Amino acid sequence: MPDNAQQFASDNYSGICPEAWAAMAEANQGHQRAYGDDEWTARAADHFRRLFETDCEVFFAFNGTAANSLALASLCQSYHSVICSETAHVETDECGAPEFFSNGSKLLLAKTENGKLTPQAIREIALKRQDIHYPKPRVVTLTQATEVGTVYRPEEVRAISQVCKELNLNLHMDGARFSNACAFLGCSPAELTWKAGVDVLCFGGTKNGMAVGEAIVFFNKDLAEDFDYRCKQAGQLASKMRYLSAPWVGILQDDAWLKYANHANRCAQLLAMLVEDVPGVSLMFPVEANGVFLQLSEPAIAALTARGWRFYTFIGAGGARFMCSWDTDEARVRQLAADIREVMSA
């Protein structure tokens, strides 16, 4: 299998979608002001305000780890804590960055149901201890879609938001795959965020057709005070900011973001359907976004790897994660499914 063959290990493997590429090429004409004081950054921010149907503060960062960590740091003091899922990206895959950028805010891990936090789990952790010797809970962070490919419904977000209001907690959403959640639910971005009580969203672009770039969207604008200084201090203020912001104009202006998320989701559903009758194969979690989590035999996993397929197996013995992307070829999905059927039959 050639090194550049389409793979299913991560949606980060994919290239840049045509709309983002074209916007970058257009932004490359002539000179523009630096450090975000350019027309492309202003246009991108305005597109977000139209998309979310509200006035909001918008900032751009290079990657999801920075976006999440800086957003959480803006909501916390060092003696505060953040309640998150035990499988949340901020816990498992960000190398302690949320704690680092907040000068020590502790992550408090909650048990989940199919990767999703529940109001009861949040309440139990937030009320577990309230003495001065324990880091004071201040934020709840949701991953949308979750790390196991499930999606929070608007009513679930509202229920969590209600608990947050009762307990004086801010609500942050890690939306690395927010586009896929919107596509699956058929909900507007507003319905899944500020209308359901979300204070801050980190909207992922990298996994949905952009080269780099995440947007930090503050619906509660009071929480955005001095966030530009925080970005600068963390090395996230791009001097040529238009190359971070212009791709957003490209994918937002004609809803390419939603088209590509729908495509990735459909490819995941196709893969799940093609292997559902294979003896010994079972779905570990519902397929609601662009990820398929399959329980396979260990020999089958080894055989797939030997055939050149790349995928992650960080989810327990026999567990395999297959991620579809904005550009996934359906023929490639069918080839993978056929190989899964063969190796499981061997």
Q: pLDDT at position 315, please?
A: 79
- The pLDDT confidence band at residue 159, using thresholds 50, 70 and 90, is very high
Could you give the 3-state DSSP secondary structure of residue 29?
Answer: coil
Q: 219 and 264: one domain? A: no
- 5 located within any domain: no
Q: 248 and 130: one domain? A: yes
- The pLDDT confidence band at residue 170, using thresholds 50, 70 and 90, is very high
Q: pLDDT at position 346, please?
A: 84
> What is the average per-residue pLDDT within 319-336?
97
Which residues is 282 bridged to in the sheet? 295
Q: DSSP readout, 224-267? A: GTTHHHHHHHTT---TTTHHHHHHHHHHHTTTHHHHHHHHHHHH
The CATH number given to whatever domain includes residue 317 is 3.90.1150.10
Burial 215-229 (b: 16+ CB within 10 A, else e): bbbbbbeebbeebee
The CATH number given to whatever domain includes residue 218 is 3.40.640.10
- The pLDDT confidence band at residue 78, using thresholds 50, 70 and 90, is very high
- The pLDDT confidence band at residue 262, using thresholds 50, 70 and 90, is very high
Out of 211, 237, 253, a domain closes at 253
Q: What are the phi and psi torsion angles at 292 (to 5°)?
A: -125, 120
Q: pLDDT at position 1, please?
A: 77
- CA–CA dist 106, 134 (Å, integer): 10
pLDDT of 12 higher than 90: yes
Q: pLDDT at position 4, please?
A: 85
pTM over 0.75: yes
pLDDT of 317 higher than 80: no
Q: 262 and 207: one domain? A: no
Q: pLDDT at position 2, please?
A: 77
pLDDT of 144 higher than 90: yes
- 2 located within any domain: no
Which residues is 21 bridged to in the sheet? none
> What is the average per-residue pLDDT within 232-249?
97
Residue 131 carries which DSSP code? S
Which two tokens mark 83?
């309640």
Could you give the 3-state DSSP secondary structure of residue 330?
Answer: helix
Q: What are the phi and psi torsion angles at 206 (to 5°)?
A: -60, -40
In the chain, the amino acid numbered 333 is: V
| Gap between the terminal Cα atoms of the chain | 21
- CA–CA dist 280, 341 (Å, integer): 10
Which residues is 60 bridged to in the sheet? 215
Q: 187 and 246: one domain? A: yes
Residue 86 carries which DSSP code? T
- The pLDDT confidence band at residue 336, using thresholds 50, 70 and 90, is very high
pLDDT of 167 higher than 90: yes
- 1 located within any domain: no
Q: 290 and 188: one domain? A: no
> What is the average per-residue pLDDT within 63-76?
96
Q: 183 and 237: one domain? A: yes
Q: Note the Cα 29 to chain centre separation in Å.
A: 31
Identify which of 53, 6, 339 has the alpha carbon closest to the alpha carbon of residue 219: 53
> What is the average per-residue pLDDT within 197-206?
98
pLDDT of 191 higher than 90: yes
Out of 253, 272, 289, a domain closes at 253
Q: pLDDT at position 314, please?
A: 79
Out of 253, 273, 293, a domain closes at 253
**What is the number of domains present in the chain?**
2
- 9 located within any domain: no
Q: 64 and 115: one domain? A: yes
Q: 269 and 322: one domain? A: yes
Domain limits at 217?
A: 18-253
Which residues is 293 bridged to in the sheet? 321
Residue 83 carries which DSSP code? E
Look over the chain and give the mean of its residue pLDDT values, rounded to a whole number.
96
- 11 located within any domain: no
- CA–CA dist 178, 175 (Å, integer): 4
- CA–CA dist 48, 215 (Å, integer): 9
Question: Would strands 57-61 and 282-283 be described as parallel, antiparallel, or unpaired?
Answer: unpaired
pLDDT of 316 higher than 80: no
- CA–CA dist 254, 181 (Å, integer): 18
Which residues is 332 bridged to in the sheet? none
Q: 237 and 330: one domain? A: no
What share of the chain in percent tops pLDDT 70? 100
Q: 241 and 262: one domain? A: no
- The pLDDT confidence band at residue 113, using thresholds 50, 70 and 90, is confident
CA angle 294, 256, 236 (to 5 degrees): 85
What share of the chain in percent tops pLDDT 90? 94
